[in-house]
Structure 1
């Protein structure tokens, strides 16, 4: 009986260790080896920008965002990252992260937690490593919570435009805006 309990305990620990490693950040980019973070474009808009959802002028990438992303990003396939198949704000901050070994990681970080990367050597020549794509749900939750006011402003723009176009009844924009704000402000 004790042997069975030990076997079950060992099996459970192995499963837990496997699950933890699946959710671990990319070990190629340890935060402890970061030498320098240079934000090259704190706020950049792409062709995917949707001001009805979020105005890119309201989104600014910070050094804290970069470190948070390095700690929490999970690698995904291009298919999972492709803007045509996923939600995107069209806003992205760009940064160069230099590691102590000379490797430079160029990152594009969206407030939705979508991250694209490319590796370069110390002379800014691309390495053999192909571009990588990541998602970071903790980054999305954190950044979107910080962007509540910007999201409220985008909702207001969208709803007032719909009301002006006659697509929603007069006064309905205010009602929907209050409802949306209350939903977003829930803990």
Structure 2
């Protein structure tokens, strides 16, 4: 235990100044606080992100419904359009039945290449207009937010410790310089 106290810098070393011991205590208390409260904060923020992403996914699932559409053209006949995910997508004419029972014809982006007459799954709103497939990932949102909060906690912890050390180092150097001004004339014999 004595080695740990010595390593932490809080032991009764006669060469340590009061400000050195205060810095060691501050670092220890801050670290214990981050270690004790950090996991709870990470868990709660991840849980909140999960709940919000799950609510968004439910909203998307309630807004868009899957329907089967029959392609009226081959997907290879058109110049591909690149989506946000970087994958090539080609809009082709298709026919489908809207949720209200009306037959609809219009351009759709099929999930995979196909030929005329191929049945594909598309997502439409309640009016039958094609839309994007709901792809909210609540678990991915929770993990991402949790990792971000954990990294932010580590960065804030390190920043506070470095800021306090910088401020205390300035005070230590000023005190050292003042002490040297007091001692140097007696030591060197100059007045």
TM-score range, shorter chain: under 0.3
User: Please, what TM-score do these two structures have when normalized by structure 1?
Assistant: 0.27
Higher helix fraction: Structure 1 or Structure 2?
2
Higher strand fraction: Structure 1 or Structure 2?
1
User: Please, what TM-score do these two structures have when normalized by structure 2?
Assistant: 0.26
